[in-house]
Structures are given as structure tokens and as C-alpha cells.
Amino acid sequence: MLDGRRILLVISGGIAAYKSLEVIRRLRERGADVRCLLTHNATQFVTPLAVQTLSGNKVFQDTFSLTDEHEIGHITLARDCDLVVVAPATANLLAKMAHGLADDLASTALLVTDQPILVAPAMNFRMWEHPATRANLATLKGRGIHTVGPNAGPLAEGESGIGRMAEPGEIVAAIEGLLAKGPLAGIKALVTSGPTFEPIDPVRFIGNRSSGKQGHAIATALARLGADVTLITGPVRLADPSGVRTIHVETAREMLGAALGNLPADVAVCAAAVADWTVSNASKEKRKKYPGAPPPAIELAANPDILATLSEAGSARPRLVIGFAAETEKVLEHAKAKLARKGCDWIVANDVSPATGTFGGDFNSVHLISASGTEDWPRIAKADVAERLAWRIADFLKPGGAE
């Protein structure tokens, strides 16, 4: 049930807007307090009067309404709720959200809200499959926005394909799932992400091309399922995930220290691309280049093995330790060897050779390897990889759970 939960429903301009009326009815039946915001185009498909009658609340439409701004204000409207739902979410509105546009009340509210957002896409199948829409959706998922649908079936234009908005029952079920206590409630999770930078001198370092997108997405997905998440990240150009405690480090030794300092934990996901070596003769001053002089010798030493250390942490060892294997050749062979060598429970293996676009990209194709075998996952958005992995973790950690 949704007794007392406050939901802001944004209805945008698509033929599927008529389904939003049934969504409102079902939410009210479950005890939710539903406020509705209509775009200008939405009023071409459903009337404000019908929406107001079903919701029992005033309908909001105009950014510059002096009455609305006096009574509640668009910022309060966007924040005074437990969840923002966009149904239908047109390709246009998804594009506005992805690019941070705020040219009407709906896009302004979506930009200013600090609450979780669930979108139910609805559009022609060619619009859904367009690279721009796919990229926009990947961007939004990377920011932690939830989705439900779309489904396959007949479309308004007489065509058929993927693009139908999820049915009202599916949308309400997704809302209940997001607002309910998650399956990882009470679970403490530790996630490492990004690269590590090993200094050569105060201005130079040894590093790698990891963007941290996959590790940050995993931290977000675990938090969504109710886990208490600590994210330890190397230097990345990503915002700290919402609802996650984030610790910023630079070197492998700093990352290991932070990881050990946050034990015990129930699950550890080592998604960081930790540098294998550090510079043992790092200079405290910038190394200078002189005409005719040979380059300075750089001496390397092995970095601590964070994954192996967590796997051998004795009584403080997490119940589930997951490592990542970023390979450029013989992906499964090397990953299976790493699983045996490190002593962890699962390895998530992926091909990061330049042709795949995995490093820095929004998509990934992985293999989940454990003692019971190998699962080959299709190429999907990194946010979807994270969500699928989070649910696998939840299944494993639940009472009686197994691989």
C-alpha cells in the first residue's frame, strides 16, 4: 500500500496520456496523495478537469501562474513529494531532461527536484530506437533515474513495435517497488570505482582510462534496493551518487585503507581499475627535462591487491566479494584464472579493448563468473548492468539465497 505517500505525476503530450488517468485512480485506491502537472501538449489528450477530479488535487500547468507560485511554487511542488513519475515520458521530454533544459513547468520541476524520478517512455518505435533517444536514456539512467517500459505492441500510428507506454498496473507496481523497503535494507555494501593515480612527481602520474561509470552505477543500484552503501572512488569526472556515502581517494594504498576502514560489510564490489604498480622513486619536486639528458628512470613496485585482501579478511570478510576483470584478450580465460587467484566469490569480466568503447562509454557487455558457472549478459547500458548485478546480489544475500 501507498498510504500517505506523496507522488508528483508529470503527464506529457502523447496519446498514451489517457492511461495516466487510470494510473491516478489506482494510486488513489492505494492511499497515495497524487498531485499532477500537465504539459501544454498533454492538455490536447486529457483535460485538466478530468485529472483534477480523479486526483482530488489542483492541477498545475503554468510556470508563471501568480496564484500557483503564491500557493506552492514550482520548487516546492518538485520537492514536496516522495517520488516524481513521468507518464507518459515523450522523446522530447526525455531529451529535455538529459540536457538540463527548463523551458516549461514540467522540465523546470524535473530539473529542480531532489527526489527519485520514474519515467514511463512512450513514443513511436523509430523514435525509441533512434541513437539520440538511446543516448539520452543512457544518460538519465546513469544519473539514477528509474524506468518502466516501454512495451512492444500496436502503436497509435497503425505501426507496431517497442514504444507503447507500460500499462497502468506495471507503472503502479514499479512505484510500489521504489517506495517500499528494498530487498537490501539492512545490508552494508562497499563499492570501489574509478581509476587510481600513482604519482611520478607532484604533477605527473601513472593512471588508466577508467571513467568510473560502471562502479558509480553499481553503488546507485545497490542504494536503490535499500543497501547502506559506501563508495570509494578514485579521480573521476562524475557527480557523487545520491543516497551514497562517497569517499574520494587517489592512490591504491589510499583506496585499500578506506576499504579496510569500512569493514565489516555484507558485500564488497571491487569495480575500480586499480593501478597494478606504483612509482617507488616518486619525486617530491617536478622532474625537469634538460636538453640532451636522458629521461629519468622510473622504478615500479607492486601495489597492494585490494580484491585479494578483502577476500582474505578473516572474520571481517564480506559474505560476498565481487571483483572485476577488465581484459583486452582471452576475456573468459583470464577472468576465471583471476577468480581462482584472488579468492573472491564472483568475477564480472568485460572486454575493454578500444574497439568496444567500454572505457568512458555508457554501455557494457559482461560475463558473470562464479564457482557455479558463467552467465553471458548482452550488451546493455552500464546502468542496466548495475541494476541486474544488484538484484543478483539481493538474491544471494537473502535468507537461504545461493548462487
Among 148, 138, 42, 96, which Cα is nearest to 360's?
138
Beta strands in 75-193 (DSSP E): 83-89, 117-121, 146-147, 151-154, 160-164, 188-193
Q: Is 208 a catalytic residue?
A: yes
- Cell for 261? 576502514
| Residue 89 neighbours by CB under 8 Å, 6+ apart | 12, 119, 120, 121, 122
* Partners of 183 in the β-ladder: none
Residues in binding site = 276, 286, 304-307, 324, 338, 342
Determine which one of 92, 124, 208, 262 is catalytic. 208
Phi, psi angle pair for 207, to nearest 5°: -145, -165
Beta strands in 297-390 (DSSP E): 300-302, 320-327, 346-351, 363-364, 366-370, 373-376, 380-381
- Under 8 Å CB-to-CB from 300, ≥6 apart: which residues? 277, 278, 279, 280
Listed residue (41, 29, 211, 34) closest to 122, CA to CA: 41
| Distance between CA atoms of residues 90 and 232, nearest Å | 36
- Binding site as annotated, residues for CTP: 276, 286, 304-307, 324, 338, 342
Q: Where in the sequence numbering do the catalytic residues fall?
A: 208
